[in-house]
Amino acid sequence: MEQTAPGDNALISVRQLSFSRGNKKIFNNVSLDIERGKITAIMGPSGTGKTTLLKLIAGQLYPDSGVITVDGLNVHQLRRAELYNLRKRMGMLFQSGALLTDMSVYDNVAFPLREHTHLPESMIRTLVLMKLEAVGLRGARHLMPNELSGGMARRIALARAIALDPMMILYDEPFTGQDPISMGVLVHLIKALNSTLGLTSIIVSHDVHETSLIADTIYVISEGRIVDHGTPEAMRQSSSPWIQQFMTGAADGPVPFHYPAKDYLDDLLPTGKRY
Amino acid sequence: MRRPGPALLSWVEPRFFLLLTLSGLFSVVLRPRLLLNQLYSVGVLSFLIIFISGLFVGMVLGLQGYYILSDFGAEETLGLMVAASLVRELGPVVSALLFAGRAGSALTAEIGLMKATEQLSGMEMMAVDPIKRIIAPRLLAGLLSMPLLAGVFSTIGIIGGLLVGSGMLGVDDGAYWAQMQAKLDFYDDIVNGFIKSVVFGFVASWIALFEGYDAIPTSEGVSRATTRTVVNSAFSILGLDFILTALMFGDS
């Protein structure tokens, strides 16, 4: 499964990535490719460092070893100004939305445009309304972030992420904590934006069903390694019992229901006595 | 394979927080709107508490000063006594303590919560440097507001002393002003008090911003950071006041 040469069409390639936090190894020699124009999902149980992977790709964290290249640039060798230039071409959707709470929806979407361009206010207005229309929330432009529902906040954050017309978007758990309708809206939006804007999307998620609907490729990560990768269909057909458990959500399997502990009977009974 | 630079950077950043912030001040000058917004929330919103506290401190000084000075038949110097204590000490120190409690704690909580809600790292992801966009304007606003607030505090305090001294206790208001005018020195008293307020404003804002930026991004972490802001600012202000006083007024 270890690829050595980057795929021809890879926008992002990760090679021999290792990263640890304290004594815990989050990634151990991970290699993967994200193809241009596709939707790639990174899946795995909570706490396997999926969000950490996004932060590594975006250059917010530095790996212990290994190389991550985005569009031919080695993220962790870039100087600060170059890294910031690269980030202008990446959008990231945080789990919380990360909207600036002291600004209205309109100003939030206008924020990257005002920071990075010298466009006249009339053109910024046109762009902001276009982006808001794309996520269906043009009518909500006067609201403040605390007046938004979780699903709306995420859509606004998505409008902000596409404000600078990036080449790729990183989604951090886009479906977590959403009602079925907003979930459906987000699934539709991610798919539609990816094809209409010619984006490359990376979704980090553990919502198997929604992610399988739109992903072109799924990587499943567990305990710092890539367990398997392929199309959603291939994952469902996988012979690995671990993948089967993950995809179907069975309570017990290769990933045990119980946290490691000493023998149950020994734990309940007074020490040393066994009847 | 491994570069030492980046790992070093994450260690360096909190330690050189001040330098990074100061280098961001240039970009604030180019964007006065950011500064104006912060001047409002840091300075204007602190005005009322400074105004009312200044009035009461001045009135108490008037009362206490009168009781002691009248024992020596020196009620006429009440104006000088009130003004000198305010301009040299109480104005900068008490307004800085109030500033740390009112504006400093608000800054820490605001920045800590921005960190906890991923707004700071969201900004970084949009290629906007939060130190330039968020921290630097607030530091400059604190630096500019504090001397003005200390000036308001002292002025209102002197008027409070006059209200009590002349209105309640019968000190001649002409003497109140005349003694003040004759004995208060512009350089020794007013300029030194101004320098103190600039130093306190800088230290209080710096501590507040650092604690917010360095806070553990949880509700408990932000609450602890806010407490640390108030406690550390108070200690720093009082300690620095002693040092500055010793340097400024030592030989006169």
What is the CATH classification number for the domain harbouring A75? 3.40.50.300
Q: Which ranges constitute the DSSP H helices of chain A?
A: 50-57, 80-88, 105-116, 121-134, 150-161, 180-196, 208-214, 232-236, 241-248, 264-268
Please tell me if residue B118 touches chain A, with a CB cutoff of 8 Å. Answer: yes
ipTM: 0.79
Please tell me the pTM assigned to this model. 0.83
Residue A217: inside a domain, yes or no? yes
Domain count, chain A: 1
* Model confidence at A168: pLDDT above 50: yes
B117, A66: Cβ pair inside 8 Å? no
Q: Partners of A219 in the beta sheet?
A: A42, A229
Sign of the alpha-carbon dihedral angle for A231, A236, A242, A246: positive
Residue from the list B7, B117, B125 with its beta carbon closest to the beta carbon of A62: B7
Predicted confidence at residue A1, as pLDDT, reads 40
Residues of A with CB below 8 A from B41's CB?
Answer: none
Domain count, chain B: 1
Residue B248: inside a domain, yes or no? no
- Closest C-alpha among B47, B58, B27 to residue B135: B27
| 8 Å CB contact between B177 and B226 | no
Residue from the list B1, B9, B124 with its beta carbon closest to the beta carbon of A65: B1
Highest mean pLDDT among A11-20, A61-70, B197-206 belongs to B197-206
Mean pLDDT on A185-208: 89
Angle among Cα B2, B5, B10 to the nearest 5 degrees reads 110
Q: Which residue of A has its CA nearest to B122?
A: A98
Nearest CA-CA distance, residue A112 and chain B, Å: 7
Residue from the list B117, B121, B126 with its beta carbon closest to the beta carbon of A60: B121
Predicted confidence at residue A94, as pLDDT, reads 87
- Closest C-alpha among B2, B19, B23, B43 to residue B138: B43
Q: Which residue of B has its CA nearest to A16?
A: B1
Mean pLDDT on B214-237: 94
Residue A37: inside a domain, yes or no? yes
Residues of A with CB below 8 A from B1's CB?
Answer: 65-67
Residue from the list A67, A88, A96 with its beta carbon closest to the beta carbon of B127: A88
| Cα–Cα dist A218/B204, whole Å | 51
Q: Which of B28, B31, B125, B134 to mutate to test the interface with A (most CBs of A within 10 A)?
A: B125
* Model confidence at B6: pLDDT above 90: no
Residue A193: inside a domain, yes or no? yes
Share of chain A above pLDDT 70, in %: 95
Q: Which residue of B has its CA nearest to A86?
A: B127
Nearest CA-CA distance, residue B143 and chain A, Å: 22
| Cα–Cα dist B86/B73, whole Å | 22
Q: Which residue of A has its CA nearest to B127?
A: A84
A96, B133: Cβ pair inside 8 Å? no
Q: Which of B31, B120, B126, B134 to mutate to test the interface with A (most CBs of A within 10 A)?
A: B126
Please tell me if residue A85 touches chain B, with a CB cutoff of 8 Å. Answer: yes
Nearest CA-CA distance, residue A75 and chain B, Å: 11
Residues of B with CB below 8 A from A64's CB?
Answer: 2
Instruction: Tell me the residue range of the domain where A74 lies.
Output: 10-103+166-268
Instruction: Tell me the residue range of the domain where B26 lies.
Output: 16-241
Predicted confidence at residue B11, as pLDDT, reads 62
Predicted confidence at residue A226, as pLDDT, reads 85
| Cα–Cα dist A161/A182, whole Å | 18
* Model confidence at A267: pLDDT above 70: yes
A94, B118: Cβ pair inside 8 Å? yes
Please tell me if residue B7 touches chain A, with a CB cutoff of 8 Å. Answer: yes
Residues of A with CB below 8 A from B122's CB?
Answer: 92, 94, 98-100
Please tell me if residue B191 touches chain A, with a CB cutoff of 8 Å. Answer: no
**Residue A216, token pair as written in the block:** 């072109």
| Cα–Cα dist B167/B59, whole Å | 11
* Model confidence at A191: pLDDT above 80: yes
Predicted confidence at residue B103, as pLDDT, reads 94
Report the relative pairing of strands A217-222 and A10-21 from DSSP bridges.
unpaired
C-alpha count within 13 angstroms, C-beta hemisphere, residue A249:
4
**Residue A218, token pair as written in the block:** 């799924």
Q: Count Cβ atoms below 10 Å from residue B73 Cβ, excluding itself.
A: 7
| 8 Å CB contact between A178 and A143 | no
Residue A160: inside a domain, yes or no? no
Look at A74-88, A145-159, A239-253 and tell me which has the smallest mean pLDDT: A239-253
Q: Which ranges constitute the DSSP H helices of chain B?
A: 4-15, 17-30, 32-38, 47-71, 78-85, 91-99, 105-116, 119-125, 130, 136-162, 173-183, 192-214, 219-249
3-class secondary structure, A171: strand
Mean pLDDT on B213-241: 94
